[in-house]
Amino acid sequence: MAEVTAVLVKDLRDKTGAGMGDCKKALVESEGNVEKAIDWLRQKGISTAAKKASRAATEGAVGSYIHMGGKIGVIVEINCETDFTARNEKFQALVKDVAMHIAAANPQYVRRGEVASDIVDREREVMRSQLKEQGKPEAMWEKIIPGKLDKFFREICLEEQIFVKDPEGKKSIGDLVKDHVATIGENLTIRRFARFALGEGLEKKQTDFAAEVAAVVGQA
């Protein structure tokens, strides 16, 4: 098996236009063989999705999902290229699935590029402090932190979260969208979403029942 190097990953990305993460996965699955990796990407529809990504997606739909008897609500906008596709059953099912996933997984952003640099910098500092507490050599920190940041992004970014309905627990929301790009034949993109949880952000009144009972007894 050939070693999957950064040079190989970049070469595959240049040839297919697929994301770095997808290229690395394709090379691992193909044991470092670039041609087989290209076939793997094509089979998954990822190469096709990358080629369509530059095309304007200005149509689409706004979908919603209500969960737990009205305790959680989600609104999501997913764009496509044509109004015809926006009415397509597969596209509408994608919108519903993504909205349901957002309700369950509570992402904070659509993609990692939306995460403010000061939040990432703060997370880096927390990681450095943790590594120091764990006694890891300082020379290793910058090699460990990128992997930890990837995990951080997978937790908070919608496109990188594992789809809650995937039985194998491997397919991300980004992968789900790419699968639909390959099937539908248009560029599709998740633009934005909002998630509401009943009572979120409100200061709930804390009742001291013991004090209330004592007060009632004292008035009796």
Residues 33 and 125 in one domain: no
Residues 140 and 73 in one domain: no
Domain that holds residue 187: 59-113+157-197
Residues 109 and 120 in one domain: no
Find the DSSP H helices in the chain.
6-16, 20-29, 34-44, 46-52, 83-86, 89-105, 117-133, 138-156, 173-184, 209-219
Domain count, the chain: 3
pLDDT tens digits for 25-45?
A: 888 888 888 888 888 877 776
Residues 24 and 68 in one domain: no
What per-residue confidence (pLDDT) applies to 42?
73
The rounded mean pLDDT for the chain is 87
**Which residue bears the tokens 């939040």?**
119
> Is residue 194 scored above 80 in pLDDT?
yes
What per-residue confidence (pLDDT) applies to 56?
75
Residues 67 and 163 in one domain: yes
> Is residue 99 scored above 70 in pLDDT?
yes
Instruction: Please indicate, yes or no, if residue 1 is contained in any of the structural domains.
Output: no
Residues 176 and 191 in one domain: yes
Element (H, E) at 76: strand 72-80
Instruction: Please indicate, yes or no, if residue 176 is contained in any of the structural domains.
Output: yes
Mean pLDDT across 92-98: 97
CATH of the domain at 46: 1.10.8.10
pTM: 0.70
pLDDT tens digits for 119-148?
A: 999 999 999 999 999 999 988 998 999 999
Residues 87 and 45 in one domain: no
